[in-house]
Amino acid sequence: MKTTIIPFESKYAKDFAYLNIEWLEKYFTVEPHDADLLEQCEETIINEGGYIFFAKADTEIAGTFSLIKMKDGIYELGKMAVSPKFQGQKIGQQLLQFCIEFSKGQNWEKLILYSNRILENAIYIYSKYGFKEIPMEENPPYQRSNIKMELVLQNRKSSINIDSV
């Protein structure tokens, strides 16, 4: 089986929603913020400067993730899901590796993600790829979140603005 990572196309919007809803309903519930992102992914993610990618196993969509723009150079890695049919085949790790390489190629500063500690395997993999736990804000975007992690992609040296000297 050959797995390739492909960018978003409108014809895959239903796959994006289905994979994530399937995953969310297994462990949690679909929150209003999830529903907005999943049901209107082109408007809420793509058209707002974000990205969605898919893992395609031969001809089938096996997994997905999104990069949701928070502000210039800082994106939330979100909505990552792999179909139960394809779990255990390292597709999630392939998606994560692609995500990091893509983000570095964009010269972004960092990636943020929100997760839950019951997802021990996911937290382990994020840590393995360099994500570090950081303090959670008072009102995170997802009620289920009890851990926030970041991956610093480049250390931006603070530059002195000549006008302010």
CATH of domain 3-155: 3.40.630.30
User: Kind of pairing, strands 110-115 and 74-82?
Assistant: parallel
Per-residue DSSP letter, 141: S
Give the per-residue pLDDT at 145: 95
- pLDDT per position as a tens digit, 96-145: 999 999 999 999 999 999 999 999 999 999 999 999 999 999 999 999 99
Orientation of helix 120-128 relative to helix 91-105, angle to 10°: 40
Cα separation, 50 vs 106, whole angstroms: 12
Tens digit of pLDDT for each residue in 7-39?
999 999 999 999 999 989 999 999 999 999 999
The answer to whether residue 157 scores a pLDDT higher than 60 is no
Task: Quick: pLDDT tens for 45-96.
Answer: 999 999 999 999 999 999 999 999 999 999 999 999 999 999 999 999 999 9
SS3 category, 90 = coil
pTM recorded for the entire structure: 0.90
pLDDT score, position 1:
80
Find tokens 């408007």 and name the residue: 43
Q: Given this model, what pLDDT does residue 155 score?
A: 64
